[in-house]
């Protein structure tokens, strides 16, 4: 069993239904298949259930949510774990804070057009956001600030597998994996 060479945080950002989790899950699986362990998926649902039950989706609560998540990501990565995190994380300031705080932050901008995200709408959330049932929904009624310096950009022009290979190639180039 290979052991991680160094901890890192692979941070997927952009809208709901953009493909963050699907891509992240496959990257996780591919790393596992290559024999790496100590890899931790962190996602919004899981974290909100265990760490942030008290928080909602106001701008203030989104900031608090990311503060707690980044604290956890920091502890994990400095102890050698690989964190694969998927959070909408709409504000550049908070993403920058996380980059400054955690060890080896790698920002992945999942640049899927809003139109496509909305067409997927797996949980019917965009529909509810458009009709006002869900308020402060990122991309519809709450802002998203485009990443200024993402480390990796993936788009729907390439299939899922190619996007994952691009991410793994980045990890190899930066010597996180061999």
Q: Under 8 Å CB-to-CB from 31, ≥6 apart: which residues?
A: 39, 82, 168, 177
CB-CB contact of 153 with 109 (8 Å)? yes
97 binds a second copy (CB under 8 A): no
Q: Is 157 exposed, middle or buried (0-12, 13-18, 19+ CB in 10 A)?
A: exposed
40 binds a second copy (CB under 8 A): yes
Select from 16-24, 31-39, 139-147, 150-158 the region that touches a second copy (CB under 8 A).
31-39
- Choose, from 89, 131, 141, 142, the residue flagged as catalytic: 89
Minimum CB separation from a second copy for residue 115, in Å? 36
Name which of residues 55 to 94 contact a second copy (CB under 8 A): 64, 67-68, 71-72, 75-76, 78-81
Strand-pair partners of 10: 84, 106
Active site residue 131: no
Please give the residue ranges that form the binding site for a second copy (CB under 8 A): 3, 37-40, 50-51, 53-54, 64, 67-68, 71-72, 75-76, 78-81
């Amino acid at each position: 069993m290979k052991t991680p060479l160094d901890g890192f945080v692979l941070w997927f950002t952009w809208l709901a239904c953009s493909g963050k989790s699907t891509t992240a899950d496959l990257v996780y699986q591919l790393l596992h298949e290559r024999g790496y362990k100590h890899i931790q998926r962190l996602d919004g649902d899981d974290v909100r259930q265990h760490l942030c039950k008290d928080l909602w989706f106001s701008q203030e609560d989104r900031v608090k949510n990311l503060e707690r998540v980044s604290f956890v990501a920091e502890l994990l990565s400095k102890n050698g774990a690989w964190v694969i995190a998927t959070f909408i994380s709409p504000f550049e300031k908070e993403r920058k804070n996380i980059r400054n705080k955690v060890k080896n932050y790698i920002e992945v901008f999942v640049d899927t057009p809003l139109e496509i995200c909305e067409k997927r709408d797996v949980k019917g959330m965009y529909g509810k956001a458009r009709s006002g049932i869900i308020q402060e929904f990122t991309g519809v009624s709450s802002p998203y600030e485009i990443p200024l310096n993402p480390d990796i950009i993936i788009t729907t022009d390439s299939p899922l597998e190619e996007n994952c290979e691009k991410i793994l190639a980045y990890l190899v180039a930066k010597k996180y994996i061999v």
